[in-house]
Amino acid sequence: MLSPALALALAALSSHALPDSNRIDPSASVRIDSSRHELVVTAGPFNLPNMPPSPDGIMDHGAAHDTPVHRFSWPVDGWLRGFRIEVLDARGNPLPRSLMHHLVILNYDRRQLVYSAAERLFGAGTETEDASVPRSIGVPLKANTNLGMYVAWHNESGKEIVGVTLRLTMQWMPKSQNPRPIDVLPMYMDVNLTVGGTNTFDVPPGRSTKSYEFTLPVSGRLLGVSGHIHNYGEVVRLEDVETGKVLTKVEPTLDDNGNVVKMGRELFGVRGNGLRLRAGHRYRVVAEYNNTTGQTLHNGGMAHMVGLFAPDDVAKWPQVDPRDPIYEKDIMSLEMRGTSGMGEMHHH
């Protein structure tokens, strides 16, 4: 299915590592298939202890098996255009994707558009389908780009599962691709971002909103968006602060119990003009919740919007500044994943 963004809704939580006795630091292998234009990253084995279901469908943000970041080098000049994910048992047979709470791919060599933290190239959560974009667009990557991958697991099967492997296949287009794809980069907008910490927040009873304002550093076109919101969330929207106009919004699909099962998508046309955003302009990302439980949901809220952004001039994209305190805090929290129980800048 076509994805409007390689930075799809990542199932991100303020998760913490399990005690060392329950955690295996997995190895990972990287294999390139030049004929199919695919890079295959295989990580494991993982031992996944059973975790009981959470009340009200809200996962305990500490109950996730976090893995350390596995760093690897991107091998070719070209454009990333899609991914697929497989979860396998010790014999190589498919397991339910729901065991993987979330997966994130990091790009240490490029920062985000809105935040001076390392780029989250793409990610996937329990509700995220495999994704690809048309060959008319792609995320540019140079050979020897420093990438990283981490996974958080959540096993509610009722029993421990031993020897789990995750296989990630990343699809690319070569630099000789003709016609040349339009350069697009992931854009992430969180209503409560805390670099190096958690982006969850309390949701009071009844209706409430949470928002974050930012100034865009580069002009360009937003080609499509999706997002993420927790249970009792109704919408995530992007507004023009100066005019008050709602530029776009995404809404969740709920099951019969009111739980979020997937987020909507909004495509502005990957071959068209897209949604125009201007450098130096103020924008606001807003989440709306309607908590019908009558009680405050402590750390029960989260919301963000993700999309593919085509800058007018990719050379004007803000550069990584290793001395920037936000970037430093982000990298430090990533390095401490799976060893200290420290959270990090979580994205869906």
Q: Which of 238-252, 280-294, 296-310, 332-346 has the lowest mean pLDDT?
A: 332-346
Show the tokens assigned to 10.
């990542």
Residue 264 has pLDDT above 90, yes or no: no
Cβ(135)–Cβ(173) under 8 Å?
A: yes
What is the rounded average pLDDT of the residues 70-90? 94
Residue 300 has pLDDT above 50, yes or no: yes
Q: What is the pLDDT of residue 57?
A: 46
* pTM tops 0.85, yes or no: no
Q: What angle do CA 279, 285, 286 make, to 5 degrees?
A: 160
Categorize the per-residue pLDDT at 65 as very low, low, confident or very high, splitting at 50, 70 and 90: low
**Segments of 219-274 assigned E as strands:** 220-229, 233-240, 246-250, 252-254, 260-263, 266-267
* H/E stretch holding 172: strand 161-174
* H/E stretch holding 332: helix 325-335
Q: Is 304 helix (H, G, I), strand (E, B) or coil?
A: strand
Q: What is the pLDDT of residue 67?
A: 83
Residue 342 has pLDDT above 50, yes or no: no
Show the tokens assigned to 188.
């992430």
Direct distance between the N- and C-terminal alpha carbons of the chain, in angstroms, rounded to an integer: 18
Question: Residue type at 125?
Answer: G
Q: What does the radius of gyration of the chain's CA atoms come to, in whole angstroms?
A: 19
Show the tokens assigned to 35.
């004929």
Q: What is the pLDDT of residue 15?
A: 27
Show the tokens assigned to 311.
């800058």
pLDDT tens across 107-162, in order? 999 999 999 999 999 887 776 777 788 888 999 999 999 999 999 898 988 999 99
Rounded to the nearest angstrom, the gap between the alpha carbon of residue 115 and the centroid of all alpha carbons in its chain is 14
Residue 269 has pLDDT above 80, yes or no: no
pLDDT over 70, % of the chain: 83
Dihedral-angle region of residue 92 (phi above 0 means left; psi in -120 to 50 means alpha; beta otherwise): left
Q: Is 136 helix (H, G, I), strand (E, B) or coil?
A: coil
Show the tokens assigned to 62.
């500490």
Token pair 């995404």: residue: 250
What is the rounded average pLDDT of the residues 324-346? 69
Question: Residue type at 21?
Answer: S
